[in-house]
Structure formats: structure tokens, C-alpha cells
Homo-oligomer: A and B are copies of this chain.
Amino acid sequence: MQSWIEDIHARARTRLGQGRVASYIPALAQQDPERLGIAVSTNAGELYTAGDAETPFSIQSIAKVLLLTLALRTHGETLWQRVGLNPSGMPFNSLAQLEAEQGKPRNPFINAGAIVVTDRLVSAFATPPKHLQDVARRLSGNASILIDDRVLASEWQHRSRNAAAAYLMKAFGNLDNEVDEVLHTYFSCCALAMSCIDLAVALNFLAADGHARAMGERFVSPGLTRRINAIMTTCGMYDAAGDFAYRVGLPAKSGVGGGIVAVVPGRMTICAWSPALDGNGNSVAAQHALELFAEELAPLGVSMPLR
């Protein structure tokens, strides 16, 4: 398996040079587009890596999986009164749909949805950013994970569009806390710096019926795990969820930091990272790595969702 991951890494490297690093905040624009890391964390506890698998990067929208999981733990199915769970069909930061649908975001993986989810956590925890950092450390077993203050400050400075969405939801009564506090918490979680290894391990509970190995305990129920995987399948890849399901067929979530985490239920998680993005905001090389991974998984006899 190690050589297989290395082979995928070598083939995915051919895509380096394609796409563009996210530039909407200066802190992300400085990333090196030549980096490519892969980490696989199996349910049995093995770890396979290739390339820059230990380099921390800004997890950005992958944070939405953490936020959703925590909010479902604290609020259960009542969360769905605040946010939908169907694909949006609109860009991830669109306000038109949010306005037409009375401030209820389509799903928890568009920005507005994640902000509402964060609002629930702000209501539930004393110091939400610290709590999120703590959860990330415990799930990954890496106590040195930090919120990147430079990224956080940059997000805050360029918060206008997210602030517009948050105030619009506030206007519709779908945000209980102050916009500024909710955004600060949301940006803090997006600014977590984690490596491919950190993420593959931390989200392995999605492949392992909810069991978080690094914590040595069940983090969520098997049913909840399946449901989060379902939302990742239909809504996890920005506007390209359908394309990705068609080509790769695994539940996945990507972030504009260049990371993508995918789940092989019952078997393993994989995290690939490379900063240059395609027009949908998904990493070009990381997507290709996942495509190669999925192609070869089936003949190995691994049962895959949608394949």
C-alpha cells in the first residue's frame, strides 16, 4: 500500500503547475503551488504517506466537517431547523438563494450554512475557538495543532462577503449570537493549520462507524457517520459535487487551502493536499490523486460507495 500511495503521488505530481493558488486573502496567496502531500489512515491504525504529508496547511472549508459534527453532537437533528441538507446549485458564497429562502442556508457546507452551524456552537461553548482547536488536537492525536493567527487576521480583514451573509441571516432571525463573534469563531476554525496526516487521522471516525482511534472512544454514532458522509457526497465539493461523485465516487470535503479529505466507509480516510485550485475552488493535483486512488481501489476488492 505504501508503494501504491507513492505511485499515486508521483502521477498526481504531473498536475502541478495547473490551477491557481487561492488569492482572496493574502495569507493564502503566498502558499507554494508545488507542494503535494498524501496521507492514508486505515481503520486498522496504519498510516501511509507520500510527499508533503507532514506540512501543516490552512484547512479552510474542511473545517465545516468538524463544525457540523460538533453541532450534530450538541444539537442533534434540531440543527436542521436552521440549515438544509440539499445541494445548493449556487456558488458557495451566493446571497441570492439565501435571500430567496428566508435566511435558511441550503446545506452546512456552503459558507452561510457553516456560519449558522458555528452560531450553534457559539451558543453551546464558553470559548468556542479554543474548544475547536482542542477537538482538532484530540481527534488527530497531535497536541501541537494551532490556529494560524496570520490567516485568522487576514480572513477577518476580508470578511465582507461572509459578513453580508451573516447579517442577512441575522435579519431573518437565523443567528442567535452577534455577527462579529460568530464570524471570529468560524474564521478561527477555518484557520486551523493541520497536515495531511492530522486530517486523515482526525476524520478517520467517518470511515470507522464513528470510532475516533486517537481518542480511543466512539466520537459519534454509526448512523450519524453515515449521514455526514451522505452530505459530503452530495455537497462536499463546492459546485462540483456531481462531477466528483461521477469521477471519484467517495464522500469528500475540500478547502481552498488546497486540502481534500475523502472517506472509504469501513476502510480508511485519505487526505491529499496541493495549493493550486481549479475554477470550482478544488485543488487540481489533490483531486487527481483521489481520482487515481479511487480507480485502483475497486480492483483491489475494496467495496466503495457509488463504485
Residue among A86, A161, A170 with the most chain B CB within 10 A?
A86
The CA-CA distance from A164 to B226 in the complex, in Å, is 35
> Among the listed B168, B245, B303, which residue makes an inter-chain contact with A164, where contact means beta carbons less than 8 Å apart?
B168
Within 8 Å by CB of A246, from B230, B265, B303, lies: B230
Give how many A residues have a beta carbon under 8 Å from the other chain's beta carbons.
51
The A interface is mostly helix, strand or loop, or mixed, namely helix
Q: Could you tell me if A241 and B306 are in contact, using CB atoms closer than 8 angstroms? A: no
Which among A125-133, A138-146, A194-202, A231-239 touches the partner chain? A231-239
Kindly list chain B residues whose C-beta atoms are within 8 Å of the C-beta of A160.
167-168, 170-171, 179
Cβ-closest chain B residue relative to A303 = B303
A235 surroundings in chain B (CB, below 8 A): 242
A239 touches B94 (CB 8 A): no
With A86-B241, A233-B245 known to touch, is A307 a contact of B165 (CB < 8 Å)? no
Chain A residues 78 to 109 lying within 8 A of chain B, measured CB to CB, are: 84-90, 94-97, 99-100, 106-107
Q: Which of A149-196 contact B (CB under 8 A)?
A: 159-161, 163-168, 170-171, 179
Pair B243/A226 contact, Cβ less than 8 Å: no
A249 at the interface (CB under 8 A from B): yes
In the complex, chain B residues whose CB is within 8 Å of the CB of A135: none
Of A90, A170, A179, A233, chain B has the most CB atoms within 10 Å of the CB of A233
**A95 contact from B86, B99, B166, B303, Cβ within 8 A:** B99
For window 201-258 of A, CB contacts with B under 8 Å fall at 226-227, 229-231, 233-235, 239-243, 245-246, 249, 251
Q: Which residues of B contact A56 (CB under 8 A)?
A: none
Complex Cα distance A170/B164, Å? 9
> Is there an interface contact between B86 and A239, defined as CB atoms closer than 8 Å?
yes
Known contacts A95-B164, A96-B99, A170-B160; decide if A85 and B233 are in contact (CB<8 Å): no
A234 neighbours in B (Cβ, 8 Å) = 87, 233-234, 241-242, 245
B89 touching A88, Cβ below 8 Å: yes
**What are 16 sample pairs from A and B whose C-beta atoms fall under 8 A apart?**
A85-B242, A86-B241, A88-B89, A89-B90, A107-B242, A164-B168, A167-B167, A226-B306, A230-B246, A230-B306, A231-B242, A234-B241, A234-B242, A266-B303, A305-B305, A305-B306
